C-alpha cells in the first residue's frame, strides 16, 4: 500500500546533545533546504533555510515538533515526506549496514549506548520522538562506524586479553559516512575511476584519516572513540594510556574526560582557539605551533595508513579544513612529497577539485563532504529494495 508522501522528499536528521541539524533531499538527491534547531534546553533558536523561527525549545521533542511545524509552513508537511533518515554515530560490531528502524534495530542502537554515551542517546531520542509525532513516516538509520567494518581484525583489535575485546573495547573508526560519500562521489566529480589506494583526509574540528583500498576501508586513525588519532580542534588525539591514568588519579575522571575531549587539541595548544582560520591569522608562536602540530601528526599518521595499503595512488581532502584551507593542505602534502604527491599553487589557492599538476605521480583532490546526501541515498536504496512502510 502506498502512502501520501511516497514520492516526496527525504528528511535527514542529525541529533546532538543540544541541537538537531536537518536537511531535505528530493528523490534525485538534490538538496531542497537545510536548517538547525540549536540551543535545545537553553537559549534556543530554529533556522530553516534563510528563515528564523523564534522558539522555546526545552527538549528534543519540542525541537522536532517545531522543525516539523516549520517545514509544514514552508509546504513540507510530514504526510508529504517519503521517509526520515538519521545519522547514528555508533553501530557497534553488528550494525554495519544502513537499516530501516524496526524494534530490533532500535534495541541494537540502544545496546550500543555504552560505546557512544554522548551521541547514541540523542540519536535514539530523535528516532523515538519522530515515531510519536509522525507514526506513519518510515525511518531509516545510517551508521558512522559502518564503513570501517571492513577493517581486518588485526587493525581493529587492541593488544588486550580477549575478555576485554569481548566487552567491546576495540577500534571502530568514525567519519564513515563522509568516507563512504567520498567513494560514491569521486568518479562522477573527477570523471576518473576511484584509484585502488586512496588516502582520505577528513580534516575539520574532528579529524581523521582513512586508508581506502578498492573502495573499502582497511585502516583508520580514530579508534574506540573519536578521541584517538590526529590532533583535532578540541580533542587531544592519541595519548599514552598511562598519561591518561595519571590525569585521572590526580584530577578525577570527569575533569580528565572534559580536558581530553573539549579543552585539548588546537584549543589547548594555542591556549585560546580551536578555529583553524583564526589560528592562521594570528601569527603568534603558540598559534604557529598548534598549526604545525596538526599538520605534522596528519602527515605522520598518513604514513601508517599508506603502510596499511602498501602504497598510495591518490590523496583526497575533505571536511571543513580539508576543503577550505590551502595552507594546511600545502603543509601536509609537503610532508608527503615522498609519495609522489605534489601541489599546483594556483589550483590549491582556488580550492580547485584537482590540486595537483597533471605531471604529479600521485594526484591530490578535494571531494566535498556530503554525509547528509549519503544518508538520504541510503534510505532511498532501502526503499527501492522494498523496505516496508
For residue 269, with 0-12 CB atoms within 10 Å meaning exposed, 13-18 middle and 19 or more buried, which class applies? buried
- Clarify whether residues 218 and 348 are in a common domain: yes
Cα–Cα nearest to 96, from 12, 156, 138, 154: 156
- Predicted pLDDT of residue 42: 87
For residue 34, with 0-12 CB atoms within 10 Å meaning exposed, 13-18 middle and 19 or more buried, which class applies? middle
Tell me the CA distances in angstroms from 357 to 361, 364, 366, one per residue in order: 9, 9, 14
Q: How far apart are CA 43 and CA 55, in angstroms?
A: 9
Rounded to the nearest integer, the mean pLDDT of the chain is 95
- Quick one: DSSP state of residue 194? P
- Clarify whether residues 204 and 263 are in a common domain: yes
- CB neighbours of residue 293 within 10 Å: 17
- Clarify whether residues 232 and 350 are in a common domain: yes
pLDDT in tens, 163-199: 999 999 999 999 999 999 999 999 999 999 999 999 9
pLDDT in tens, 292-342: 999 999 999 999 999 999 999 999 999 999 999 999 999 999 999 999 999
- Predicted pLDDT of residue 208: 98
* Residue 375 belongs to some domain of the structure: no
Q: CA dihedral defined by 67, 320, 139, 56, rounded to 10 degrees?
A: -20
* Residue 32 belongs to some domain of the structure: yes
Q: Which one of 110, 125, 143 terminates a domain?
A: 143
* Residue 70 belongs to some domain of the structure: yes
Partners of 23 in beta bridges: 12, 34
Which active-site residues does the annotation give? 144
* Binding region for substrate: 87
- Clarify whether residues 137 and 198 are in a common domain: no
- Clarify whether residues 108 and 24 are in a common domain: yes
Instruction: With H, G, I as helix, E, B as strand and everything else as coil, classify residue 118.
Output: coil
CATH of the domain at 84: 3.30.420.40
- Clarify whether residues 132 and 217 are in a common domain: no
* Residue 310 belongs to some domain of the structure: yes
Q: Compute CA 37 distance to the chain's CA centroid, rounded to the nearest angstrom.
A: 19
Partners of 38 in beta bridges: 19, 45
Q: How far apart are CA 282 and CA 120, in angstroms?
A: 37
Q: Which domain holds residue 84?
A: 10-143
Would you say residue 1 has pLDDT above 50?
no
* Binding region for Mg(2+): 14, 371
Cα–Cα nearest to 327, from 297, 369, 295, 359: 295
- The number of C-alpha atoms within 13 Å of 338 and in the hemisphere containing its C-beta is 7
Q: How far apart are CA 305 and CA 251, in angstroms?
A: 34
- Clarify whether residues 220 and 87 are in a common domain: no
Q: How far apart are CA 318 and CA 10, in angstroms?
A: 24
Q: Which one of 143, 166, 182 terminates a domain?
A: 143
All cell numbers assigned to 228: 584517538
All cell numbers assigned to 61: 521533542
Task: Average the pLDDT over 19-23 and give the result.
Answer: 95
- Clarify whether residues 218 and 331 are in a common domain: yes
- Clarify whether residues 345 and 218 are in a common domain: yes
Q: How far apart are CA 135 and CA 353, in angstroms?
A: 42
- Clarify whether residues 86 and 202 are in a common domain: no
Q: CA dihedral defined by 172, 178, 181, 187, rounded to 10 degrees?
A: -110
* Binding region: 14, 21, 87, 202-206, 275-277, 320-324, 371
Return the H-helix or E-strand segment holding 384: helix 371-384
* Residue 279 belongs to some domain of the structure: yes
How many domains does the chain contain in total? 2
- Clarify whether residues 82 and 215 are in a common domain: no
* Residue 109 belongs to some domain of the structure: yes
Threshold 0.85, pTM exceeds: yes
Q: How far apart are CA 173 and CA 164, in angstroms?
A: 18
Instruction: With H, G, I as helix, E, B as strand and everything else as coil, classify residue 375.
Output: helix
- Clarify whether residues 212 and 283 are in a common domain: yes
* Residue 51 belongs to some domain of the structure: yes
User: Checking DSSP bridges between strand 45-48 and strand 31-38, what pairing results, if any?
Assistant: antiparallel
* Residue 175 belongs to some domain of the structure: no
Q: Compute CA 377 distance to the chain's CA centroid, rounded to the nearest angstrom.
A: 16
- Predicted pLDDT of residue 18: 87
Would you say residue 388 has pLDDT above 70?
no
Q: Is the dihedral of CA 267, 301, 14, 368 positive or negative?
A: positive
Strands (E) in 39-183, as ranges, are: 45-48, 51-53, 83-88, 99-100, 139-143
- Predicted pLDDT of residue 4: 47
- Predicted pLDDT of residue 50: 85
- Predicted pLDDT of residue 17: 83
Amino acid at each position: 500500500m502506498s502512502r501520501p508522501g511516497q514520492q516526496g522528499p527525504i528528511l535527514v536528521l542529525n541529533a546532538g546533545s543540544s541541537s538537531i541539524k536537518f536537511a531535505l533531499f528530493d528523490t534525485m538527491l538534490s538538496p531542497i533546504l537545510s536548517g538547525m534547531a540549536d540551543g535545545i534546553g537553553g537559549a534556543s533558536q530554529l533556522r530553516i533555510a534563510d528563515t528564523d523561527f523564534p522558539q522555546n525549545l526545552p527538549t528534543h521533542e519540542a525541537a522536532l515538533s517545531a522543525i516539523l511545524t516549520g517545514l509544514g509552513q514552508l509546504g513540507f508537511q510530514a504526510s508529504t515526506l517519503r521517509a526520515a533518515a538519521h545519522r547514528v554515530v555508533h553501530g557497534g560490531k553488528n550494525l554495519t549496514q544502513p537499516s530501516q528502524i524496526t524494534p530490533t534495530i532500535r534495541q541494537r542502537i540502544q545496546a550500543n549506548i555504552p560505546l557512544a554515551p554522548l551521541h547514541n542517546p540523542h540519536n535514539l531520542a530523535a528516532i523515538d520522538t519522530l515515531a510519536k509525532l509522525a507514526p506513519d513516516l518510515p525511518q531509516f538509520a545510517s551508521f558512522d562506524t559502518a564503513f570501517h567494518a571492513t577493517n581486518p581484525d588485526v587493525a581493529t583489535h587492541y593488544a588486550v586479553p580477549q575478555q576485554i575485546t569481548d566487552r567491546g573495547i576495540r577500534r571502530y573508526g568514525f567519519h564513515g559516512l563522509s568516507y563512504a560519500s567520498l567513494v560514491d562521489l569521486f568518479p562522477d566529480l573527477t570523471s576518473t575511476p576511484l584509484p585502488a589506494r586512496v588516502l582520505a583526509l577528513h580534516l575539520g574540528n574532528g579529524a581523521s584519516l582513512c586508508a581506502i583500498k578498492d573502495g573499502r576501508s582497511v585502516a583508520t586513525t580514530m579508534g574506540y572513540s573519536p578521541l584517538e588519532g590526529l590532533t583535532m580542534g578540541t580533542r587531544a588525539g592519541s595519548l599514552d594510556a598511562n598519561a591518561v591514568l595519571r590525569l585521572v588519579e590526580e584530577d578525577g575522571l570527569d575533569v580528565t574526560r572534559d580536558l581530553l575531549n573539549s579543552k585539548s587539541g588546537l584549543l589547548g595548544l594555542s591556549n585560546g582557539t580551536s578555529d583553524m582560520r583564526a589560528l592562521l591569522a594570528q601569527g603568534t608562536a603558540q598559534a604557529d605551533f598548534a598549526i604545525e602540530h596538526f599538520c605534522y601528526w596528519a602527515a605522520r599518521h598518513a604514513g601508517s595508513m599508506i603502510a596499511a595499503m602498501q602504497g598510495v595512488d591518490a590523496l583526497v581532502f575533505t571536511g571543513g579544513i580539508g576543503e577550505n584551507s590551502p595552507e594546511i593542505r600545502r603543509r601536509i602534502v609537503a610532508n608527503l612529497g615522498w609519495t609522489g604527491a605534489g601541489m599546483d599553487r594556483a589550483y590549491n589557492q582556488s580550492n580547485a577539485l584537482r590540486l595537483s599538476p597533471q605531471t604529479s605521480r600521485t594526484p591530490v583532490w578535494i571531494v566535498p563532504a556530503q554525509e547528509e546526501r549519503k544518508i538520504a541515498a541510503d534510505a532511498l536504496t532501502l526503499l527501492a529494495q522494498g523496505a516496508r512502510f
